[in-house]
Structure 1
């Protein structure tokens, strides 16, 4: 029999709880937990809410994870009205399940929705959907260094209509995937390919929105990175092809011998929540940090002179990853000794320590589920 979970804090939605009657056998789940990858294993349930013009958000439920049945004319398949978020649930030092700054994910989700002409969802309903799914699938939150339950809230246009306009029907959903480290081999320096043929975003475009089209457009450049023996691709600006912007799925930071840090300013790049948190942690520690344009030419010169001692990328999936080698058409260079550095490691340890409840949380970023 279906139960009902009501978010009494501020949102009007009530979630029907419809338990999965055929969950993954426990032995199979435990066996899968022994070799976690990233994004290939999924929990038993999903959260779903529907939106329709004139009715708003409705039919909220936590139900068995299953394929959607959508019309071939669904607007998302033709005009790519789709957005998503990435967030993680962790087990802290006390064994409780926690989220990291979920309100920021909700706010960024709505910023993406506004840019893509999609309906906004209240922060309370967004978080209630995430928490409702975690409550139903709590056993899917793994323990251990680098392990977490990756949560993917997303929304897409489901109305069958081939005219070019914002859709009148949408589906919001949250799915969950227990994961290990994003990069194989754990926290080791990654190699970066600088794309000179492709750009990710331009002023006035969708670069600051977390929409699937941005990632689809980056895949050919990412493939080029793999072909050149690199882990990730970094994009330059679309106007001058001179300024470093961000990686295919991560923001980037540069560390200098005087202890200062530079990171590209917002505008055409994604306003990463990990990025925002690292900026605040750096400033808490008295580290001089500047958000500004930084050119590829400067990057090469500063690495060659030794003025730049470290560089790192960050994001929800990878958290913090040192950059060891940078390759481009015509050459390559190394950052410092190619093995990372103390500033990157200190920031990574501070961030993950707060996320997992090992270190104090002075900003109140950690949100306990339940």
Structure 2
């Protein structure tokens, strides 16, 4: 575990989708702290009585980010969190505080925006750290009761041009804005939206060379090809909400992201000419993987296809059916039930193709692996 794990939003995420109603106080969560409410009614007096709140949610996030890079004392960083959060100085043991709260990388730019997005208590409690430390629902309810709340979208760029995006759920305490939870940017980046990218697309992008894992640290390293063909690239962990992106992938050799040890997926998307596509997906940890590996053969002893991909399975798969398809060639093969397969072979285009593996169980169809072939 490195200091980057906390700063990149790898372990203190809330949820990939923020929705619902938090409380009446959330109705004005996009107002600055010193702006009175224009609402009338029984809640208006409570809202306008917050004029003594210091700073703004955005300023709090900026101070937190700067402190995580510049401070020597992790307690200085931890004071930006709400007292119920495990990273507050009263809750975090000294031997762990530095690793979680101090960041090694420098920061060149910080962008923040308070957004009009309400959240639920359940969303806050879905944060992995809050779950791991067994923060109770009543504690969160008490934390937001009668307080102002706001959601802040944050984009941090380091000196290498690598960006990290997340949303922060903030709440006031004794006249100060504090961080209650963090989440990957709530937008079209959810898994449901990436699953729509299973349709064949233009095969212009070349990004991922391979993915390697450090099991002891629960980290993945996504290695890029020597000359990536993409205007921008994003690597994220589906469960841990770790996310790294860059608009200059040609100057970066790899991205490191942290993963949830209880189960996660590495997902890579690339954008070229304004079109964003999912280009790679792998499961983690290796002990839970269904796909053991993919072997591409550009010169098979096969009269049917000019090139083939052989997908090896671990034997851990369960479900009604497992399907392997090549998105460019359009070949597809499947086995029912999924438990009965050790490997499958599909034809691929020798000039470049993409293999997608899906599991079907009842009405549920899930993509579990995606990998591109570059000759």
Same fold per superposition (TM over 0.5):
no
Q: If each structure's strand is expressed as a fraction of its own residues, which one has the higher value?
A: 2
**Larger Cα-atom Rg:** 2
TM-score, normalised relative to structure 1: 0.30
Which structure is higher in helix share? 1
Q: Which has the higher contact order (CA 8 A, sep 6+)?
A: 1
After TM superposition, the score normalised by the length of structure 2 is 0.29
